[in-house]
Amino acid sequence: MITHEDLIEAGWPRSALFQQLIAAAREYEARGIDDKSYILKLLDRDFSKPDPKLQPRSEPLSFGEAIEATCEEDESNIAAVRRFMNQLLRTPVIEGGAVMPDACPAGAGEAVIPVGGAIAVKNAILPAAHSADVCCSMYASVFTCDKSTAEMLDHLTESTRFGPGGRKPDDLVSHPVIEEDVWGNKFLNGLQNYARIHMADQGDGNHFAYLGKLRINQQFTTALIEAGYNEIGEALDKKRLESPSGEEIELYSLVTHHGSRGLGAQVYKRGHKAAIRETEKIAHNIPKAAAWLDTETDLGQEYWEALEYVGRWTRANHVAIHKRFLEFSGAELVTEFGNEHNFVWKKGDIFLHGKGATPAWKDEDGRPMLGIIPLNMAEPILITLGKDNQDYLGFAPHGAGRNRSRTATLRQFRDRKGQPDEAKIANQIAESTKGLDIRWWHGKADLSESPIGYKNAAQVREQIEKFELADIVAEITPLGCIMAGDGGPQPWMRKKDQLTPKQIRQIDHRSKRRKEKQKWQRGKLDWEDLD
């Protein structure tokens, strides 16, 4: 009977692969093969020994910190960020890392990249480093309109959608990107309906549609033109020169924030599962959050192609929402632009991963990247030109970030009985958003997505400038926004009489899947059983 000691003596490093090796050995033995040396040869034939060069580094790589503490909460937050980055940066395929001013932990698992974290990886993609909200991104359109703020927000409500589930069959929004010939890709196969039902759909959490005003002056348009954004700069400058004063004007701007919805979540799930499986074949003692796909393999290349499609779909999703809004409100488009901040970007054989980090390097045409950085619903959104600061991998922050979890934020607003103090919460939100038309898609205001839930906006802005991450060339000042808001407890946390029959079936199905996964983790199922 082959034992763990036999495997170690034969040169197999102790790892999670042992479960599969022992299971395969038992199968050979069940067939009547009782020669240990022959069984070990069969294991060598059927499994790849992990490469000693791919074991975790004994010490983590150093990384750039574009963040500094200004209070005790900052210090605690940054200490946690460092801990997770140090775990992640022991991964052998990673060649560099950085954290932004908005950095905060994204989970409790080993080597989970923080929000505001970025890594440079050679010829590999770590699905967990871009996470399930693939291609979470910003998009801005600049326009003229004769409607009031309230009327425009009414039209915006018609144009977009938040919440789980996607659009119903009688409410679908078409777009040519859905019909692209990509669905044979193993990471995209069978997901076309996700692409269809989530078009013009923004999701939940911190995703929003923000209405504001962009100040246009010669300094701003000149900065855009000199940076190489001639089409955008000239379109804005033309409007400025057509104004009665010919000097400074304000134009309306719609800014949307969302990712790739169910489509990206499914691609991530498949990619991460494949990365864990493939990494275990060639390496050992790699945390699941650090598992990678080699982009020099067919599988890794196919995953990269799937990510590129998800990027195109997400950009199309933004455009669909903006186009609908412009049509419904009778507005005239002047220009539009956007950027990803939760994605993977390829530069030669290096794949830059940003988990909430705005690209701020120079593009293929030598232009500093044009970025959109929101801070909170009551603060201006920053328009930036990247400074390509390689000390921080050429990134800038993607927002204000948090020093406290959502739960910790809510904990401060409980009454003596430990229940949410709804009156106090309402007053705090009203005070922090005074003068703005704030709408919550689910109807209930969400304290954790109000300005109270985020870091000090001025602090983040100061650190963008201090660490020379980007030049702030303009601001979009707020008029109002639609935020997803509090959709209530998740279905599995509700009482059964509050659930629909479909939700009950879904909960039962997920419970079954969890039990199957636990069996697999104990070595009683193969990966294929979870497909």
pLDDT digits (tens), the chain, 531 positions: 888 889 888 888 777 678 889 999 999 999 989 899 999 999 988 887 777 778 899 899 999 999 999 999 999 999 999 999 999 999 999 999 999 999 999 988 999 999 999 999 999 999 999 999 999 999 999 999 999 999 999 999 999 999 988 999 999 999 999 999 999 999 999 999 999 999 999 998 899 999 999 999 999 999 999 999 999 999 999 999 999 888 899 999 999 999 999 999 999 999 999 999 999 888 878 999 999 999 999 999 999 999 999 999 999 999 999 999 999 999 999 999 999 999 999 999 999 999 999 999 999 999 999 999 999 999 999 999 999 999 999 999 999 988 888 788 888 888 888 888 888 999 999 999 999 999 999 888 899 999 999 999 999 999 999 999 999 999 999 999 999 877 666 554 555 555 667 667 777 777 777 676 665 555 444 433 333
Q: How much is the pLDDT for 1?
A: 81
Distances (CA, A) of 67 to 149, 385, 464: 36, 19, 9
Under 8 Å between Cβ of 313 and 177: yes
Q: How much is the pLDDT for 412?
A: 85
**Residue 241 φ then ψ, to 5°:** -70, -25
Q: How much is the pLDDT for 531?
A: 31
133 Cα distance to chain centroid: 4
Q: How much is the pLDDT for 246?
A: 84
Task: Name the CA dihedral angle for 435, 439, 443, 449, rounded to a multiple of 10 degrees.
Answer: -90
Answer left, alpha or beta for residue 39, where phi above 0 means left and psi between -120 and 50 means alpha. alpha
Helix, strand, coil content of the chain in percent (nearest 5): 40, 20, 35
Answer left, alpha or beta for residue 336, where phi above 0 means left and psi between -120 and 50 means alpha. beta
Going by the DSSP 8-state scheme, the letter that residue 106 receives in this structure is -
Q: How much is the pLDDT for 528?
A: 35
Is 136-487 a CATH 3.30.950.10 domain?
Answer: no
**Residue 296 φ then ψ, to 5°:** -90, 0
Answer left, alpha or beta for residue 309, where phi above 0 means left and psi between -120 and 50 means alpha. alpha
**Residue ranges of E strands in 66-158:** 94-104, 115-122, 124-125, 136-144
Q: How much is the pLDDT for 529?
A: 34
Q: How much is the pLDDT for 526?
A: 41
